[in-house]
Amino acid sequence: MLPLAKEMGIKGVQLWGASGEHDAKMLSRDDRLRLLDKIHSYGMEVTALCAEVGGFTNPDTVQANLETSRAVIDMAVDMDVYIITGHIGVIAQDPNDAGRLCMAKAMTEFGRYCEDRGKVYASETGPETIELMREFIDALPHQAIKLNYDPANLVMKGINPVKGVLVGRELIVHTHVKDGVRYENGTCEEMPVGTGQVPFSEYFAALDAIGYDGYYTIERETGQNRVADIQGAIDVLKTV
């Protein structure tokens, strides 16, 4: 896919490091450096790694998920990548909720691991409000947990993605270019960028207003012709 990405004018790629072809637990340091050289040979860089493990709210799985996530951090060290993304799990409103307490303990431990290695973990926006995510992150005893801002996830939950940018502010270190729609009956659907309900002009203007200077990462998780949909997203980026 790298030749195609170069042909489309893409300048960076995000790699999935939690499993599969680029599983951080399986790749040696030499493997990682060879992969990095290959990406560089196409004039691109690795913008972020993804450590999606399903969250940190379940005591039965939290240690295994932390082990995988730490492996991705180590991969980021070898590949000189600053940002690692993933979902931390659904944040309960109640500060004393067992899942939230489990998550807070895990993110305290994991955040220190990231901080010691000069990396940040960007938690993806999802089912909760940005106000609640900010409350949770601000309560952690370090600065390593940030935000991966996905406007489509918010739209599909009925949350205004533009207003949320002004709440997340300096925590936003990574963002998705993804679109979606929420129907009147409460169901939702991911859509090709530019055909859903994300107001991209206003969204990008809000990111400019807070001084965001990171990559705009196109994400397309469904659809019959994702290459065409990615090209459509590039076209949207060029017009705003």
pLDDT tens for residues 57-107?
999 999 999 999 999 999 999 999 999 999 999 999 999 999 999 999 999
Q: How confident is the model at residue 113 (pLDDT cuts 50, 70, 90)?
A: very high
**Banded model confidence at residue 239, pLDDT cuts 50, 70, 90:** confident
Q: What is the pTM of this model?
A: 0.95
* pLDDT value at residue 224: 84
Q: How many helices (H) and strands (E) does the chain have?
A: 9, 9
- Please provide the DSSP assignment of 182-198 as one string: E-TTS-EEEE-TTSSS-
- Which residue in 187, 184, 175 sits closest to 216, CA to CA? 175
pLDDT of 227 reads: 93
113 contacts 76 by C-beta, under 8 angstroms? no
Is the confidence at residue 126, as pLDDT, over 90? Answer: no
Arithmetic mean of pLDDT over the chain = 96
Q: Catalogue all structural domains in the chain, each as residue range(s) with its CATH number.
A: 8-149 (3.20.20.150), 152-157+177-240 (no CATH)
Q: CA 150 to CA 126: how far, in whole Å?
A: 7
pLDDT average, residue stretch 9-20: 96
* 134-140 mean pLDDT: 97
Dist CA 139 CA 134 (whole Å): 8
Judged against a pLDDT cut of 80, whether residue 119 lies above it is answered with: yes
Helices of type H across the chain:
2-7, 29-41, 62-79, 98-116, 130-138, 151-155, 161-168, 200-209, 226-239
